[in-house]
Amino acid sequence: MRLLSSPRISSDFTLSTAFQFADMAGVGVQFGGHQQYQAGYRFQHVSNGGIKEPNLGINFHQLYLQYNF
């Protein structure tokens, strides 16, 4: 669950409520001599779950490369 400080994302995109649900899924791999690197992909969908119309929602795609020390 998310509570946004404002439902306005940009000047031409506003969600119907500040209260949102967030679903996330992804895959990744850890590698390196000491397993110090991670790389992966995440997908996230944020919407109000139909509690108020319109329920536009927004999707995020993330690629990441991480170094753990």
Q: What pLDDT, in 10s, does the model give residues 24-62? A: 999 999 999 999 999 999 999 999 999 999 898 999 999
What does the alpha-carbon distance between residue 31 and residue 62 come to, in Å, rounded to a whole number? 19
- At residue 64, the pLDDT reads 98
Q: What dihedral angle (degrees, nearest 10) is formed by the CA atoms of 48, 55, 47, 1?
A: 0
Answer yes or no: is pLDDT of 68 > 90: yes
Question: CA–CA separation, 46 vs 55, rounded Å?
Answer: 10
pLDDT of residue 33: 94
Q: For residue 38, what are the domain limits?
A: 2-67
Domain tally, the chain: 1
The pLDDT of residue 56: 85
